[in-house]
Structure 1
Amino acid sequence: MSIKLAIVMPAYNEQDCMAEVVKIWSDFLDSEFTLEETRLIVVNDGSKDNTGAILDGLQPLYPKLIVVHQKNGGHGNAVVHAYQKAVELNAEYVFQTDSDDQFIPQDLKLLWEKRHQSDFILGHREVRHDDPFRLFITRILRYSMFFVYGTFIMDSNIPFRLIKGDFLKKLLSQLPNPVPFAPNIFLAIMAKKAGQELFNIPIVHKERATGEVSIRKMKLLKVCWQSFNELLNFRLTLNNNIKNLK
């Protein structure tokens, strides 16, 4: 069996929107990839609410839904596990998004149209509905990446990215161990340095209607400092990482 597209997403305490998110992305796969094998992979990252139970209840209703439960390891850890599951299934393309219902499935088609031009394509939130402090920290990280790597990426950590499956497999093999706090940033840097055109396609970002952001204020500042140090250390091995991608 050949899987054309696997959509992957982490989930943590999203009980209020989880059923709707699974429905809209499943409906999208059914309507846009009618003749293709597709999967929706949701990794429940040790949710403390009813997210896990909701996902288990949804699985019999959606044949393409794959639910993975794990102990809480953080967003980045859950994303990597979701990627690994898609790679195990030999998905030709892997699309990552979040489970907080802030993105529109139809925007995936904008990235899909470019799939033959690049193995790694990013969306870009021109209008981003997040806390001002979070936006400020994101801006700092963006310029920190430019300072450390000489690489300017508009939205390097965006959870709206389309990656060729075999290229993703190579990227994952080059990630630091243990998994960094924000692995999507590392994947974007490696892809850019390997010569991929990221496109940074403008997409819609909706306001969060349910749940709450799990990382706030000082904790966010702390993890950003952690990410910056991880990026500095990763720079020492980057050239060898890039060689292994070609």
Structure 2
Amino acid sequence: MSTEKIETETTKPLVSIIIPAYNEEALIEKNVALLYDYLETLTDLYRWEILIVNDGSSDQTGPLSDALSKKYNTLNVHHHITNRNLGTALRTGFQNTHGDYVIVLDIDLSYAPEHIERLLAKSVECEADMVIASPYMAGGKNTAVPRLRLLLSKTVNFIMRKASGLNIYTFTGMVRAFKGEFIRSVNTKSSTFDINSELIFKAHILRARVVEIPAHLDWTEQRKLGKIRTSSLRIIKGIFNGLVNSFIFRPYLFFWLLGIGIFLISLYIIVWIFINTYLQYPMTAELTQGFENRFSLAVSEVYRQRPYSFVVGGITLIISIQILGLGFLSLQKKRYFDELFHLNSAVLKANKKL
């Protein structure tokens, strides 16, 4: 190989592709071959390394992955002895990458390999720290996804978009491209699928640039393999998790909305009490003299007629003030967390450079 060709090879960006795998013996060999066939078309632009994270599979996924690593010299395998869920699998992948760019891909190729080039192109074009493959934004598409599962996903992502105030349509999607330096310096803690929304949350704190590209989510092969399972319980659980995850973006907003809602109820009752007291006031002229005495008599008459209004109005007013106070406290705590996370990330990034 000539010196010029060697220099060209080493100057091309290195792209690390992370593939989490759990009990995927039915498709891992076929899909890795398809992936390498596609990557061959981009060898003029990029260098590649692939990391399969075998997350404690109980079938032949582990041995098959090891065999693939012998067949492809740019493929490495990392094994978890037990299933530790997606979040841990992705952290294992991130910690063992060396690429200028890092891409997370699903082994079932529900997002076709062609998304890789588009993710990388958008990352370069926008100098983005994170590029998300989004089937829910304008231009995105879904094929063969069960209606209940699609409803779940769209509902959760809609809730998170509105709650966070971010112009992002797909918070839960796993297929993404990252700048290598960025993703290796982000400290995450989630061990479940929640890591996908956690990464967006922490990227937002770090003022990282996050963009989306329209993507095609195609579950045709999953239907053929019979791997799709949905239930009403999972729909409810998924929506609940979406609400909880939305809470981390702007926790104070939930307290304020609830507090204002309860305050409006109390305000309505208190106004009703004052209006009726005003109407009762002229009737007290024959019974007593002096403003204070007449006003007290009017209030007591309104209380005699509707005592529960005073109780409910007072209790709702106190509760609303307490909830609004919690909103201000949560805003303060979020600001402290953001500052501490900035500091933590800066220290982690500095240590990695040593």
Give the TM-score of the pair, scaled to structure 2. 0.60
**Pair 178,189 (structure 1): closer, same or farther in 2 beyond 3 Å:** closer
Aligned residue among 227, 237, 246 for 1:222: 237
Deviations 1:6-28 (A, max 9, x none): 00011112212111111122233
The residue number in structure 1 matching 2:290 is none
The residue number in structure 1 matching 2:338 is 239
**Pair 164,58 (structure 1): closer, same or farther in 2 beyond 3 Å:** same
Aligned residue among 75, 94, 104 for 2:86: 75
The residue number in structure 2 matching 1:95 is 103
**RCO comparison, higher one (Cα < 8 Å, 6+):** 1
Q: Is the 8 A contact 1:80 1:183 kept in 2?
A: no
The 5-angstrom pairing of residues 1-246 of structure 1 reads 4-34=14-44, 36-70=46-80, 71-86=82-97, 90-116=98-124, 117=126, 118-125=128-135, 126-129=140-143, 130-171=145-186, 173=187, 175=188, 177=189, 179-192=191-204, 194-209=206-221, 210=225, 212-213=227-228, 217-219=232-234, 221-222=236-237, 224-226=239-241, 228-233=243-248, 237=334, 239-240=338-339, 243-244=342-343
Deviations 1:139-197 (A, max 9, x none): 232233234422242112222211001111222x1x2x353542011112333454444
Question: How high is the sequence identity, in percent, across the aligned residues?
Answer: 23
Amino acid at match of 1:73: R
Deviations 1:99-129 (A, max 9, x none): 1121221221112112232111111112223
Amino acid at match of 1:79: L
**Pair 161,224 (structure 1): closer, same or farther in 2 beyond 3 Å:** same
Take 1:152 and 1:33, find their aligned partners in 2: how far apart are those partners?
Answer: 34
198-207 or 231-240: bigger deviation: 231-240
The residue number in structure 1 matching 2:305 is none
Q: Is the 8 A contact 1:26 1:64 kept in 2?
A: no
**Pair 180,47 (structure 1): closer, same or farther in 2 beyond 3 Å:** closer
Take 1:27 and 1:241, find their aligned partners in 2: how far apart are those partners?
Answer: 44
**Pair 208,26 (structure 1): closer, same or farther in 2 beyond 3 Å:** same
* Unaligned ranges ≥5, structure 1: none
Normalized per residue, the structure richer in helix is 2
Q: Is the 8 A contact 2:104 2:177 kept in 1?
A: yes
* 3-state SS of 1:5 partner: strand
Take 1:193 and 1:135, find their aligned partners in 2: how far apart are those partners?
Answer: 29
Amino acid at match of 1:198: V
Amino acid at match of 1:92: D
